[in-house]
Amino acid sequence: MQYRRLGRTGLKVSALCLGTMNFGWSADESTSFAIMDAALEAGIDFFDTADIYSYWHSGNRGGESETIIGAWMKARQNRRQIVLATKVRGRMWEGANGQGLSRVHIMHAVEDSLRRLQTDYIDLYQVHHPDWETPLDETLEALDRLVQAGKVLYIGASNYPAWLLMKALWVSNARGVARFDSIQPHYSLLHRSEFERELESAVLDQGVGVIPYSPLAAGFLTGKYTRENRTPDTTRQSSGLIKQLVEDDRAYMVLDVVRRIAEAHAAPMAQIALAWMLARPSITSPIIGARTVEQLQEIVGAAEIELIPEQIEALSAVSAGY
């Protein structure tokens, strides 16, 4: 496994980050423990969760993923081995302040996350989405207090457009408070322009680490979806992204190129899709989702694959416009 600095910070993280959005619904506690064991065994020490995961599953209320990770770290006694990232913003309790990025929401939400995670610090605390009803200075000052208190070590943002990230960096600088050192955008061979249009230049210029989510397009880039079989073994069939991709002729043309390069490397297609991304200087650590240990094991070799320039060019050309 390679280890990379997160943006301009001194924090080193594995070149693949384990996403844990599956924990507490499509992966039960014992499967989640096995996935985390296998990830750490393979050198993946960077885990991403969010307080809201996985509220969407019937009977869940949010907090299930953090609770499973907390129980695992306690059982394995390995808190210091893990770079733990979580998020705040979504609705976690009833009432007008049960969601958002106000000081009051952040101060209560962080205590709940720490309790579920059974730890006294979060390595990377991220704002999940913008909150258009709270001034950025209120959010950044609240986060800075957490950094000063040692409850949070680094802060990051997710789903921020370039202009808002730049504004936040400016507010942090002007007020002398902690700044966002990472950004978590949606990014893959099949979802490029949202990141590449403006955000990519901003992060390169400002030294902000990038940890893209859904790098396998929710599983589409693993190659299990084909023109002939649009309903493989999956829990993501109802996601908007998959519904759109299975009907998109061009997406299968991207898969054809990924498949050809995968054959040349004798590697799984998922690793090629990740290797393309890892070759970009802006990218720190794609967040991979795995619902089983077998899925994880098929992906983990991605950081060892070196694509030649012609292969990177072929992948970029066929996916241009996404």
Ligand X SMILES: NC(=O)c1ccc[n+]([C@@H]2O[C@H](COP(=O)([O-])OP(=O)(O)OC[C@H]3O[C@@H](n4cnc5c(N)ncnc54)[C@H](OP(=O)(O)O)[C@@H]3O)[C@@H](O)[C@H]2O)c1
Residues that bind ligand X (CB under 6 A): 19-22, 48, 128, 158-159, 184, 213-219, 222, 224, 234-236, 270, 287-291, 295, 298-299
**What CA–CA distance (Å, rounded) separates 80 from 143?**
22
The yes-or-no answer on residue 53 being catalytic is yes
User: Which of residues 110 and 246 has its CB atom nearest to ligand X in the complex?
Assistant: 246
The position carrying tokens 């991207």 is 254
State the Cα–Cα distance between residues 207 and 86, nearest whole angstrom: 21
Question: Nearer Cβ to ligand X, position 22 or 172?
Answer: 22
Closest distance of CB 315 from ligand X, Å: 16
Closest CB 160 distance from ligand X, rounded Å? 10
For ligand X, the closer of residues 267 and 279 by Cβ is 267
Q: Which two tokens stand for residue 10?
A: 């001194």
Comparing CB distances to ligand X, the nearer of 109 and 174 is 109
Query: From the CB of 279, what's the least distance to ligand X, in Å?
Result: 17
Closest CA to 43 of 86, 83, 85, 87: 83
What one-letter code names the amino acid at 83? V
- Closest separation between CB of residue 219 and ligand X, Å? 3
CA torsion angle for 288, 23, 195, 17 (degrees, to 10)?
Answer: -40
Q: In angstroms, rounded to a whole number, what is the distance separating the alpha carbons of residues 151 and 109?
A: 12
What are the DSSP calls for 156-183, one per residue? EEES--HHHHHHHHHHHHHHT---EEEE
Closer Cβ to ligand X, 14 or 22, answer by number: 22
Q: How far is the CB of 224 from ligand X (least distance, A)?
A: 5
Contacts of 103-111 spanning 24+ positions with Cβ under 8 A: 103/138, 103/139, 103/141, 103/142, 106/139, 106/142, 106/143, 106/146, 107/142, 109/51, 110/146, 110/151, 110/152
Closer of 83 and 217 to ligand X (Cβ): 217
List b or e across 277-306, with b for residues whose CB sees 16 or more CB atoms inside 10 angstroms: bbbbebbbbbbbbbbebebbbbbbbbbebe
Nearer to ligand X, 274 or 307 (CB): 274
Q: Which of 209, 306, 284, 220 is nearest to 17 (CA)?
A: 284
Q: Which residues contact 204 (CB under 8 A, 6 or more apart)?
A: 281, 282
CA angle 6, 7, 12 (to 5 degrees): 20
As measured in angstroms, the least distance from the Cβ of 12 to ligand X is 20
Q: Which of 3, 53, 160, 252 is catalytic?
A: 53
Cβ 235 to ligand X shortest distance, Å: 3
| DSSP symbol at 191 | B
Residue numbers annotated as active site: 53
